[in-house]
Structure formats: C-alpha cells, structure tokens
Structure 1
Amino acid sequence: MAEVLSQSEIDALLSALSTGELQPEELQKDEEKQKVKLYDFRSPQKFSKEHIRTLELIHDNYARIISNYLSGQLRKNVKVKIETVEQITYEEFIHSVSNPTILTIFTLAPLSGSILFETNPQFVYQVLDILLGGDGERKLYTAKEFTDIDKNIIQQVNAGLISNLKLAWEDLISVEPAVDSIETNPALNQTLAPTEPVALIVFSVELGKSNCFINLCIPYLSLEKVLDKLVVQYWFRDEGEGDKEESKKKVLDRLNNVDVSMHVELGKTHLMVDDFLKLVNGDIVKLDNKFTEPVKVFVENEVSYIGKPGVIGKKAGVAILDILEKDVGNDE
C-alpha cells in the first residue's frame, strides 16, 4: 500500500510544484517504480526460488556425471551443461518438444509418479551414427520415424543416462531409477494433466561440432513429499550428537578393516660382503643401538612411532612410547 501523506506534506508538495522546484515528470517516474507484478492463478508457482536453485545444483552435478558417461560410451569428447531450470505446465512442455522425439518415461523411487526424459532427434541421430560406426559429424538429419532398432539402441543409452541420477541425488535422498517405456509421439503421452506444474531442466550437449538439447521434466507431484529437503541449508545442516557418534563409529569401523604393513628397526650395523656371506644360524650381529634405547616403529615405511622393545608372553614385542606428529609440508 502506498504511503499516506499528511496535510503539511501535501502543502509542501504543492508549493514545490508551483515554484518549479519539482517537476511533474519526476512524480510520474516515482509512480512508475511501483509496478504491479503479473500473477497467473491458472498456473500457480509451486516451486520457490530456493527449490529451483537446489534443483539446479543437483542437476549441474548430474551434467558433469553424464558428460563423463557419454564420453566413455561414444569415445568422443562430450560436454553437457545445464542451461535453464524453470516451472512450466505439462502442456507447455509437450508443445515445446519436436515430433517425433524420444521420450523416455521412468520412475525415481521413492519419488511418486512418472518422470520424463526427452532426447531430441538431433542428439539421437548423432549418438546412433557414432555407435553404428559413423563419426557423428553430419550437419543435417532428416526428420523421420525411428525404427525399432533405433529405439532399442537409444533406450539403452538413455537408461544409462537415467541411472546416473542416483549419483546426482545421493547427497539429498537415495533414489532408484527404473525405465518404464519410451514414446516417440509426445502428444500421445497422457501421464499428467495439461495444467500440472512441472520443473523443466534443459541441458545443452556439445558433441563434436554441433550443439543439441536434452530435457528432464519432473512433475511437482513427484517432488511434493521431498520439498522440505530442496533447500541448500538442508545439505549443510549441523549434525546432532547422535549422528556425529554414528559417523565416528562408521569411520573407525572402516579404518579397522584397512591392512597396513608395520616393522620395527632395532638398529643398524655395517658388514663386509665376505662377513655377510659367512653368516650362519646362531651368529650374533652387533647393532649400533642399545637394548635399553627406544626404537623406531615404521607404518608403510614411514616412521610413525617411538617404541621400546621387550617380551609379551613368549613373543617379542614393542611398547609404543610416543607418536611422531608430522608436519603437513612433509606429507605433500
């Protein structure tokens, strides 16, 4: 609501206008600053800016993961990066994709409902060309119906791309991707109501000398149960004491399973080669270290402890006297 002026402020404003100190155009500029933001009640904004930002972070990581995946599968340098993340309606998404296209329908348990992964013909034909022995450098690809062989090959590629969502989402929630089916005509896919809000994530794919796009369409209904986790602060929240103790226990359990080599250096001596060759069982070799002096304990050939040799039961042993703290610079 605009601020209400007092009578004295109104008089001062009229006086400034009459004396020329204030121009009417300046008042008009102030009024123009207070613009009304349009809001479409038929398409309510279900995703907040924080939700969109978190989805962008998740799938920015996903773009890097599938870049490596595609580079390995195609034996070519592939760069994938996220372009936009926005909320639109399902009808707008369907109208924005080409026909025919490859629309992979999959689930992402425990998220509910179906999620759509769209790979346009440019991307599909390039991938097929490379996998079938070509170089994928054709500039133009004729729009035509995909054959059963085309669909079977690209379904395997898309299944691999979709499976990598598990890695991208693991910091937020553990998910299990599973491909349901593929569709080439987007208009025939009626998994959602036309006005259903969806998060559309657009990726650009640089493959060779050409650029193309792939789209990930996630319905609001699928994310509704985990919206409270779609905030950046959720990832960096402080752990409770119970969580810290559990994490500490897991780390210790993992460390206990690590095999390392250890040995103790009792001392050193110098022998002539002829004397060394004449050594037999029972000979005594004099070392430069007395039995009362501490010895060095090595872990993975690095001096880590100072110990004292002795006997434990019927076996030789060493008691740890001190831990050697290493400087960070020495470890680099």
Structure 2
Amino acid sequence: MADVLSQNEIDALLSALSTGDIEPDQIQEEEKHKIKLYDFKSPQKFSKDHIRTLELIHDNFARIISNYLTSQIRVNVKVKIQTVEQITYEEFIHSVQNPTIMTLFKMPPLTGTIQLETNDQFSFQVLDILLGGTGERKTTSSEFSEIDKNIMLNVTTGILANLKLAWEDILDVEPEVDGIETNPAINQTLAPNEPVALITFSVEMGKSNTFINLCIPYLSLEKVLDKLVVQYWFHNENGDLMEESKHKLEVGLNPVKIGISAELGETHISVDDFLKLTSGDIIKLDNKFTSPIKVYIEDQECYYAKPGILGKNMGVAILDIIDKDVNDYE
C-alpha cells in the first residue's frame, strides 16, 4: 500500500512545486519506476477471487453479529469488515496485544484450528455492560479473571455460531469451540511462516471503536479453495433454478418445426436442354457419389452428410458440423 503523507509533507511538496524546486514530471517519473517487493518466502496463496469471496462471506457475518451483539448486551453495536489480507501466522501473533481473548475453534469440513481474537478494550467493555455497568468505565485490570473468561467464552461462542449462517451459500459448516486463551505468545498452533487469511472487523459500541480479528489458516481452506470463487458461489446458489429453466426451454423448443434439406450437388444446363427433359433422363451433378453432401437448416449450411437409404425411404447420415464462422474467417 502507498505511503500516506502527513500534512507537513503535503505542505512541503506544494511549496516545492510553487517555487520550481521540483517539477511535476519528476513526481510522475518517480511513480513510474516504483517497484513492488515480492517475498518468495511467503508466496501469495490466496488469489484475488479468494479474498473477494472471503470478504463477501464475512461482510454478511459482520451484519449478523451486529444484530446478535445488540440483542445480547442491549447496546447498539455496529460491526463492519475493514480488511481481508494474507499474512504469516507470526505477523498475526506479534500484532495481537497481551492480554487478549483468543477463542480457538474448529469449523468442519474445514480442517485445523481457527482463531477469533477480541482485544481487551472490546472484552472489558462487553464485560462491564453484562455485569451492570455502562461500558464507559476505564479498565484498571490488565488480566482476565476466570469469571471474565467464562463470560467471554459464552459471548464468543454465540458470535461464532453465526458463522454457520454466513457460510451457508458456500459450505455447511459446524463451528465447534475448543477453548479460550489470553496470552497469544503461548498459542503456537501453526508454524511461524504459515500463511493465514486475516479478516479484521471494526466494532462501534457506544462512544468507543475497537477491532476484532478472525484468523483462518491457509491449510484450513486449502481443500475448498475451488469453492471460494464468486462465479461458483452464484452458480451454486442458482443451480436448481438453472436446471428448471433449462428443462422449460427444452420443452418449449420441442414443438418448433424447422425446414431441413439436403443438397446432392449442382449443375448448369441450358434452357433448351431443360425444356427437352423427359422421364428417365439423367442429369450429371458436380458432386461425386462418394463425396459428402451439405445439409441445410432453414437455408443455413449446418452439416456434412452421406446420402443413403433408410428402410424404404431416402435419408442422410450426419458426418460433421459445418463451422461457418471459421470458414468465413479463412
């Protein structure tokens, strides 16, 4: 992501442009030659389609848990998705403050352990409201008691249960909470360089804003990555409707009558010869009897065929399709 300039840097840049110390072309030239670094030790395992689908799923999840938290703590809560990005597990652990509430859970058919991190500001505010406060009390304790952990475990279990509804268009998942941790440093469930999808949500509760994070390892999603594509999502969602529409279309086309004709060949004769034709005369065509003939559908060339006899009737056997577009192109 590009660096964000401070106000002082913006003022200095505008001043340099106005005095002529720097030319606009210089800025464009510098921008043109910017190089984006790529770390081969941490390859991008998630494509843009995967990230986009995860964002769609968890944007829906954010709306669901907004309603859930509002009903549970009787305070207006707004949860919005902020970012979806791939980082390493080590980067995630180092970004999490200590102490925090980290709920470990599984979500079959996904494999491995997934983590929901709710920081201390969010957790203490929820605890204060649930225990009769207003949620505006300043936190004085730096550790969570066993009672705090049990209360927060109930809250996060309820939050995670809503993942089933958010994922229903992709997979039928069953969140199962394993436990809760408060020290991220001792929670080494993955290798440090293991890629993870980090989904960050902003939480507006009363007058405060805070964040919660959902960490999904790449290994958990590896077997279902083909389903994390937007086209698959909508195709899966409308699959039954498409099959029904296809059947109705076939039923509607069946009674349609179309003209089919086969051309044995061509020839040119004079008007005089044409007027002298009598029964039994033979007209020589430009096509050999061993060569394929053309079959027309409503005056359009469509097939190559071989003439023959079918019972007591004359008929043709289709040999190939005439690719008219290719022929015109050639």
TM-score by length of 1: 0.63
Shift, 1:178, TM fit: 0.3
Name 2:274's counterpart in structure 1: none
Deviations 1:237-287 (Å, cap 9, x if unpaired)?
2766797359x9xxxxxxxxxxxxxxxxxxxxxxxxxxxxxxxxxxxxxxx
2:151 — aligned with what? 153
Aligned length: 223
- Structure 1 residue 203: Cα displacement: 0.6
Gaps of 5+ in 2: 1-23, 248-330
Q: Would the alpha carbon gap of residues 31 and 119 (structure 1) be closer, same or farther in structure 2, given more than 3 Å must change?
A: closer
Q: Which residue of 2 aligns with 1:84?
A: 83
Amino acid at match of 2:208: S
1:40 matched to 2:48? The reply is no
Aligned partner of residue 109 in structure 1, secondary structure: coil
Q: CA shift at 1:234, angstroms?
A: 1.1
CA–CA separation in structure 1 for the residues paired with 2:60 and 2:76: 18
Q: Distance in 2 between matches of 1:119 and 1:133?
A: 20
Amino acid at match of 2:227: K
Partner of 2:63: 64
Q: Deviations over 1:35-87 (max 9, x none)?
A: 43311011111111111111111000000000000000001111000111111
Code of the residue aligned with 2:61 in structure 1: it is: Y
Q: Report the equivalent of 1:194.
A: 192
Cross-structure match for 1:125: 124
Counterpart residue number, 2:271: none
Q: How far apart, CA to CA, are the structure 2 residues paired with 1:132 and 1:33?
A: 57
Give 1:92's aligned amino acid.
E
Q: Distance in 2 between matches of 1:221 and 1:142?
A: 39
Letter in 1 for 2:229: V
Counterpart residue identity of residue 179, structure 2: S
CA distance in 1, matches of 2:158, 2:130: 14
CA deviation profile, 1:121-143 (whole Å, cap 9, x unmatched): 001101111111111122x3135
Q: Deviations over 1:219-240 (max 9, x none)?
A: 0000101111111111222766
Match of 1:103 in 2: 102
For the structure 1 residues 182 and 37, does the alpha-carbon distance in structure 2 shift closer, same or farther, using more than 3 Å as the test? same
Query: 1:121 touches 1:143 (CA, 8 Å); kept in 2?
Result: no
Cα 1:241–1:155 change in 2 (3 A) is closer
- Identity within the alignment, %: 72
Residues 143/174 of structure 1: CA separation in 2 closer, same or farther (3 Å cut): same
| TM-score for the superposition, normalised by structure 2 | 0.63
Equivalent-residue separation in structure 2 for 1:29 and 1:211 (angstroms): 38
**How big is the alpha-carbon RMSD for the aligned residues of Structure 1 and Structure 2?**
2.5
Match of 1:206, SS state, is strand
CA distance in 1, matches of 2:29, 2:217: 41
How far apart are the structure 2 equivalents of 1:137 and 1:81? Answer: 21
Q: Secondary structure at the match of 1:92?
A: helix
Does the C-alpha gap of structure 1 residues 152 and 234 become closer, same or farther in structure 2, counting only changes over 3 Å?
same
Report the CA distance shift for 1:27/1:110 in structure 2 as closer, same or farther (over 3 A): same
For residues 80 and 207 of structure 1, the distance between their equivalents in structure 2, rounded to whole angstroms, comes to 9
Q: 2:223 corresponds to which residue? A: 225
Counterpart secondary structure, 1:173: coil
SS in 2 for 1:236: helix
Q: Does the 8 Å contact 1:83/1:203 carry over to 2?
A: yes
Say which SS state the counterpart of residue 107 (structure 2) adopts: strand
Decide whether the 8 Å contact of 1:201 with 1:217 is kept in 2.
yes
Query: Any unmatched runs of 5+ in structure 1?
Result: 1-24, 249-332
Q: Deviation per CA, 1:15-46: give whole Å up to 9, x if none.
A: xxxxxxxxxx9899679635433110111111
Change (3 A) 1:143 1:195: farther
Distance in 2 of aligned mates of 1:245 and 1:44: 43
Q: For residues 28 and 79 of structure 1, what CA distance do their matches in structure 2 show? A: 41
